[in-house]
Structure 1
Amino acid sequence: MSQEKTAAAPSRHASVGTAVPVTLIPGDGIGPEVTNAAKRVLEAAGARIEWHEHIAGKQVFLAGNRTGVPQETLDSIASTRVALKGPLETPIGYGGKSANVTLRKLFETYGNTRPARTIPGIATPFSHRNIDMVVVRENVEDLYAGIEHMQTPGVAQCLKLISQKGCEKISRLAFEVARAEGRRTVTCVTKANIMKLTEGMLKRTFEAVATEYPDIEAQYMLVDNCAHQLVRSPESFDVLVTTNMNGDILSDLVSGLVGGLGIAPGANLGKHAAIFEAVHGTAPDIAGQDKANPTATLLSAVMMLRHLGQFEVADKVDKAVALTLEKGPRTGDISGDQPPCGTQAFTDAVIANLGHEPEAWVERNYKPLVLPDVTSNPVTVTPKSRRTVGADIFLESGQDAQTIGKRLEELAEGTALRLKIISNRGTVVYPPTGAPTDCVDHWRCRFVLRDAEADLADVEFFELLTKVTTEYRFMQIEKLYEFDGELAYTLAQGED
């Protein structure tokens, strides 16, 4: 694997009595209320924090900044390398990306960690189960890279980009989370049975990384089965590691098992910065009404304190929040049969409970989290051999498959390539298979070398492409490779 060394994540630990600079982004909607609650509790608990407050989100978009994050905020995070953030709103019609995505991308916070555990006093259908797990989600690539194109007026494409480097970083992070929290197992969750190259890359990389962590049991599970088992036996899971979209879905599912997004903390971790945030939305319908539940932000602040090495303060706040939830009062979203309290009253109760022990609470011994330091070299995989064996040309046409196929065979005559198959949404439609495929105007036309031992030259491919595009509109081409003698592309349904 490509790891050069392992570096401790908390690079800005404070010595006793020294305050650590932290960027605070209050956010939108209920954000200022819940982040103010966190500030009050951390100050009362004795946290050594020097807050540097900056803005992001709605007001920035409305001021004309399409990223939602002003340069002053970016500079602050680059300097402090730690941020606590309230929820941010992306107003409809402003900006290209959400401010949340902007922050994750610009600071390469590749790992999103979402802990979830059963909390006494919060009633759910799973309250009697001893749930205690962490979802570790890759945070910057996969379908959420947001690379989309309209291929034809009626067919859209989203590129699913999975890198070996991204898989290695998130796999190592998952094992390090397990070590830091004294956990026993890490389960890799993918859909590698269908997406063998992309999702399969995480599975293969995870299995290679796992050999370096003999103290942690490595497991593997398909994502659909994982969702099924999370509902059947959630207490059996410890650490889950998965790709970006799978992790987005599963982490919200896991939060629902223990009480919902109002109590779900989160951290976005990277080599250059760590951004801690509640994962719920801005809740504009209750903003400014003293109704917001600050629990998720408080627990995110607990994660931040551990990242900064302030473990005693973190444990004190963690227990105070747990005791408050156990005994009450609670905000309206989790009050159950008790009268609901407001944000301020809940915060006051947490402060009053500092230094006291909750009754039904299993304490976990946290250690400093070690972040992997994977090579910065863009190339992490170098095959011993590679060969170009053909190309896929994606065409837009209203003709039927038989008409297109016969004409492409004619156009390919005299070139180094022959038409092997045409597929429509992944299913072979030419040569005809007899299947009643309902086709659209988006055709993948696979050409392969006539000489099976040759290596396709660009000039040979362009000769074919020139002929094809005299009659057909193309929108995409993909070369077909062999790396180390293995096919580096998948076969269509029905292709041999």
Structure 2
Amino acid sequence: MDVKNHFRLAVIPGDGIGEEVINEGLRVIDHLSKTSNKFTFESDYFPWGCEYYLENGKMMAEDGLEQIKNHDAIYFGAVGYPSVPDHISLWGLRLAICQGFDQWANIRPVEFLPGIEGKLNHPNKEELNWVLVRENTEGEYSGVGGRNFTGRGPGKEVAVQSSIFTEEGCERVIRHAFELALTRKRKKVTSVTKSNAQQHGMVLWDEVFERVSKDYPKVETDKWLVDAMAARFVLHPEELEVVVASNLHADILSDLGSALAGSLGIAPSANLHLDGRFPSMFESVHGSAPDIAGKGIANPIGTIGSAALMLEHLGHTEEAQLINDAIRSTTKSGILTADVGGSSTTKEVTDSIISHISKRYAKV
């Protein structure tokens, strides 16, 4: 096996159902590795998350980024637990990795899978398929600001939270959205802002979008305010292809899209660093769901779909497509977890996906 086709994965299961779904994803990757004979991989586990925080006072090791920076990719489960405030768990682990490794493009596909009842009254739901490109390191989640004036007494504290928009940050994610559009059947990019109310950062975004669009004359474009776009997700989803938006807006819209498709449990995502200095990170969109952790009923599709995004990023497009095809065959056959109306276990869904992968190779 060519050394270029051997990958080291930094595996961070995290909290709640994170460990359950990440192990199912690794089962799929392992099976595909052995069946296809196109790549090999090894996994290094890192026990970071809320339990680690309760024991050590931090969400990850002090030199955590140093420990994982030379891996080929990061495979992430979920983060969050009721005993740890959400802003601590998020900023201490996931955002620390995204910002520390400059993973500036968050890719979140929205797909209506066969056999899963979507929440839209649309005549051609299974033909709906769009992708959100989310600016992932600045914007509303820059972490700039603070809390002051507590000494003035109760009710006097002031919190300042600043959004940071740089021309460089806007351009690279917008340009990536256009490049992605060129690979799709319909070549269209929709920009989402709130520039009527946020007249500085988001007007800069609009200006950059207009400038970059001139480099892609074959790509159709339109622009919407985020509130109108939320309505458009529901009323006219057939008009969506590639949607590019700031950190906060794309975060909210991607959850809306996944919910319309049936469940956050089916939604994959990729946090991409694209100049080769650091690894990219792949994770499902859903949270840690502590209420169902340990019951064996968590939906593994989002995490397995994230493995497909990871293989595509690592240069194995055919194997990635094979995983996605196997997911569709599984949902079409009615092998579904409870969140999408089924009664199958986490393991049974994964077993079905693996079975469909095996059937494909049996035909070759």
Q: What residue in structure 2 maps to residue 484 of structure 1?
A: none
Shift in Å at residue 158 of structure 1? 1.5
Residue 103 of structure 2 corresponds to residue 106 of structure 1: no
Distance 1:305-1:216 versus aligned 2 partners, 3 A rule? same
Equivalent residue number for residue 36 of structure 2: none
Aligned ranges for residues 258-337 of structure 1 at < 5 Å?
258-270=261-273, 271=275, 272-334=278-340, 336=341
Structure 1 position 354, deviation (Å)? 1.0
Partner of 1:174: 177
Measure the CA separation in 1 of the matches of 2:335 and 2:20: 17
Q: 2:51 aligns with which of 38, 59, 83?
A: 59
227-236 or 151-160, which deviates more? 151-160
Whichever residue aligns with residue 112 of structure 1, its letter is N
- Unaligned 5+ runs, structure 1: 1-13, 358-496
Shift of 1:182: 4.5
The letter of the residue matching 1:206 is F
- 1:147 positional shift: 2.4
Amino acid at match of 1:77: I
| Matching residue of 2:189 | 186
The answer for the alignment partner of 2:61 in structure 1 is: 70
Say whether 1:143 aligns with 2:140. Answer: yes
Contact 1:316 1:355 in 2 (8 A): no
TM-score by length of 1: 0.65
Which amino acid in the other structure matches residue 196 of structure 2?
A: N
TM-score, normalised relative to structure 2: 0.87
Which runs of 5 or more residues in structure 2 are unaligned?
A: 34-38, 150-155
Number of positions where the alignment pairs a residue of Structure 1 with one of Structure 2: 340
Asked if 1 retains the 8 angstrom alpha-carbon contact of 2:50 and 2:84, the reply is no
Query: SS of 1:86's equivalent?
Result: strand
Aligned partner (choices 17, 21, 27) of residue 34 of structure 1 = 21
Q: Distance in 2 between matches of 1:247 and 1:138?
A: 8
Larger radius of gyration: 1
Cα distance in 2 for partners of 1:182, 1:77 equals 36
CA contact (8 A) 2:7 2:72 kept: no
Task: Give the Å deviation of 1:355.
Answer: 5.0
The code of the aligned residue for 2:289 comes to A
Contact 2:10 2:74 in 1 (8 A): yes
Cα separation, partners in 2 of 1:283 and 1:206, compared to 1, 3 Å: same
Shift of 1:196: 1.9
Mark the CA change 1:18 to 1:124 in structure 2 (over 3 Å): closer, same or farther. closer
- Kept in 2, the 8 Å contact 1:56–1:88? The answer is no
Q: Is the 8 A contact 1:329 1:349 kept in 2?
A: yes
8 A contact 1:52–1:76 mirrored in 2: no
Letter in structure 2 aligned against 1:169: R
Q: Deviation at 1:214? A: 2.2
* Structure 2 counterpart SS, 1:193: coil
Aligned AA for 2:291? Answer: D
Q: Is the 8 A contact 1:69 1:99 kept in 2?
A: yes
Mapped to 2, the partners of 1:325 and 1:106 lie a distance apart of: 37
Match of 2:153 in 1: none
Go from structure 1 to structure 2 and tell me whether the alpha carbon gap of 1:323 and 1:16 turns closer, same or farther (over 3 Å shift): farther
**Residues 23 and 222 from structure 1, CA distance in 2 versus in 1: closer, same or farther, beyond 3 angstroms?**
same
| Alignment partners' CA distance in 1, 2:227 and 2:352 | 41
1:64-115: CA deviation from partner (whole Å, max 9, x where unpaired): 243x122564234310141110001264269483411111111111111100
TM superposition shift of 1:194: 1.8
Post-superposition offset of 1:273: 2.4
Q: Would the aligned equivalents of 1:292 and 1:331 in 2 still touch at CA under 8 Å? A: yes
Matched, 1:235 2:227: no
CA distance in 1, matches of 2:224, 2:197: 13
Give the partner amino acid of 1:186.
Answer: V
Could you say if the C-alpha distance between residues 213 and 55 of structure 1 is closer, same or farther in structure 2, counting changes exceeding 3 Å?
farther
Using the alignment, how far apart are the partners of 2:290 and 2:246 within structure 1? 30
Verify the 8 A CA contact 1:131 1:258 in the aligned structure 2.
Answer: no
Bigger RCO (CA 8 Å, 6+ sep): 2
Partners of 1:206 and 1:293 lie apart in 2 by 37
Q: Is residue 183–residue 239 contact of structure 1 (8 Å, CA) maintained in 2?
A: no
Alpha-carbon distance between aligned partners in 2 of 1:181 and 1:98, rounded to the nearest angstrom: 36
Q: CA deviation at 1:144?
A: 1.3
Partner of 2:114: 120
Give the superposition deviation at 1:255: 0.9
Distance 1:309 1:18 in 2: 9
Alignment partner of 1:144: what SS? strand
**Which amino acid in structure 2 is aligned with residue 149 of structure 1?**
G
> Partner amino acid for 1:261?
L
Flag the 1:124–1:144 CA change in 2: closer, same or farther, 3 A: same
User: Which residue of structure 2 aligns with residue 346 of structure 1?
Assistant: 349
> What is the Cα deviation at residue 236 of structure 1?
1.0
Q: Specify the SS of the correspondent of 1:299.
A: helix
RMSD after superposition: 2.1
Residues 393-442 of structure 1 deviation map (CA, whole Å, 9 limit, x = unaligned): xxxxxxxxxxxxxxxxxxxxxxxxxxxxxxxxxxxxxxxxxxxxxxxxxx
Q: For the structure 1 residues 204 and 150, does the alpha-carbon distance in structure 2 shift closer, same or farther, using more than 3 Å as the test?
A: same
Does 1:44 find its partner at 2:31? Answer: yes
Amino acid in structure 1 at the alignment position of 2:252: I
Displacement after TM superposition at 1:159 (Å): 1.1
Q: Which amino acid aligns with 1:221?
A: W
- On the 8 A contact 2:140/2:246 being kept in 1, the answer is no
Higher helix proportion (structure 1 or 2)? 2
CA contact (8 A) 2:282 2:306 kept: yes
Q: Which amino acid aligns with 1:193?
A: N
- In the alignment, what sits opposite 2:250? 247
> The residue matched to 2:14 in structure 1 has which SS?
coil
- The aligned residue for residue 20 of structure 1 is 7
2:218 pairs with 1:215: yes
Give 1:221 shift.
1.4
1:151 Cα shift? Answer: 6.0
Further displaced range: 154-163 or 94-103: 94-103
Are the aligned partners of 2:119 and 2:262 in contact in 1 as well (CA < 8 Å)? no
User: How do 1:374-393 residues align onto structure 2 when only pairs under 5 Å count?
Assistant: none
Q: Percent identity?
A: 35
Matches of 1:85 and 1:217, distance apart in 2:
34
